[in-house]
Amino acid sequence: MHPELEKKAVVVLCVLVILAFLCGFDSLRAQQAQERVYADTEDHGSSFLTGNVSDAGNAVDGNIGTKANLSVNIAGTAWIRMNFLDVPPTGKPVHIKFGNNMGLLNVASGVSIQAYRNGVVVGEEKGMGGLLSLLNGAFVNEIIFVPSDENGVPVAYDAVRITLTGLVSLGLNLDVYYAYYLQDFVNDIVCNSPVEVLYGSTSGLVGGLNTIEDPQNAIDGNVSTNSILRSNISVTDKTFIKTLYNTSSQPGDSVRVVFKNPGGGLLDASLLASSFTIRTYHNDMDNGVLALDENLLSLSLLPGSSDLQVLTYPVDVAFNRIEVSVGEGLLNALSSLHVYEMERIPTAPDLINDMVYTCFGEEATLQVDQPLINATYYWYTTATGGSPVFSGISYTPDFTVSGTHYFYVSETRPGCTD
């Protein structure tokens, strides 16, 4: 026997985690990534002297940070209608981002939303109070609804109008940022980056301090900057920050939060669930509070830091929004929380065998277990850098050199570039 044939080549398969996300899915198939189609023209108006609309063009400029403002005094009215040149398909939900600095406890009763088609009212008028849990204090949030008739049957529409009506002896104002609907992306996109951040509080200001500071810092990709969430006086109130994605996760993907307890000291795994709350959403559907089971939770210090903690937790349902909040009646609720980053981390691709033994010169096939529909799998011989040596669900290397060989596989999900 040739001496080389007596030696075994050990092939160790290691999984390289690439930050890529399943871009939407349902129970039967993977879906495409989604892109926003913004309303692009507007009409507006107000009652003489008692109502006003300012910066109306900001609501249709496609910029997520600019806004129009509706304001009324006493019994005045102000309205803005946002029109779509690319008409949404019937039944397509419309998203409206709005904000306020004085709270919705009174504002909501004076805000209505109405769909239009060719300048004519269609469907049932909706009150904001029926679409959103009431908030107080400063906030930026989003309403999602399907224009429908009184029987709940979707109607065709090409515009939505927001009307603010003043209440007796109370002046009101409302910021309107945009209206959009979602359609399938034509080209692949970066899926793992949040589109923007929403925030709010169910109570007013505490001691003159804003309940949320610098919300954009939670999604800027920089762990040296942070947002600040302050809890409220009422035991049941909460202050929250919420990140939005254009794509849905796959069950098993994780939430990752980099945070600090400004009161000093590190939080251990047993205290997390009673100190602050993490929720996920699929659009406006609340998936519920994460239980933060210690057996599934990963909790560590950020490399190079002595007080920044990194929490990673798998979520077994689809989500495209992550919310972190303080308050809400928790037993050991923090009075404030510094949030440095909120991220969504994909689960690594599974392999049928993580280690394969084969004789020198013989074949061994490495194979992804339960691959995602339309996902792309690249095989490498280095953990970082380098070029892929093969693309496909299974890979049969050329074992003509004895010894131990390591291979790495990455997963790029459909519709994604990352």
> Residues 322-340: pLDDT tens digits?
999 988 767 667 888 999 9
Q: What is the pTM of this model?
A: 0.79
pLDDT tens for 285-310 read 999 999 888 888 999 999 999 999 99
For residue 369, the cross-strand partners are 350
pLDDT tens for 376-393 read 999 999 988 889 999 999
The sign of the CA dihedral 11, 14, 15, 17 is negative
Distance CA(104)–CA(130), nearest Å, equals 12
Of 150-159, 174-183, 342-351, least confident by mean pLDDT is 342-351
Average pLDDT, the chain: 82
pLDDT band of 190, cuts 50, 70, 90: confident
pLDDT band of 129, cuts 50, 70, 90: low
Cβ contacts of 81 within 8 Å, gap of 6 or more: 42, 43, 44, 116, 159, 160, 161, 162
Distance CA(293)–CA(24), nearest Å, equals 26
How high is the pLDDT of residue 395? 92
Cβ contacts of 263 within 8 Å, gap of 6 or more: 334, 335, 336
Q: Which residues of 87-120 are buried (b: 16+ CB within 10 A; e: fewer)?
A: bbeeebbbbbbbbbebbbeebbebbbbbbbbeee
CB 80 within 8 A of CB 164: no
- Provide the 3-class DSSP secondary structure of residue 105: helix
pLDDT tens for 213-251 read 899 999 999 999 999 998 765 666 788 999 998 888 888
How high is the pLDDT of residue 2? 36
Instruction: Show the tokens assigned to 89.
Output: 């398909």
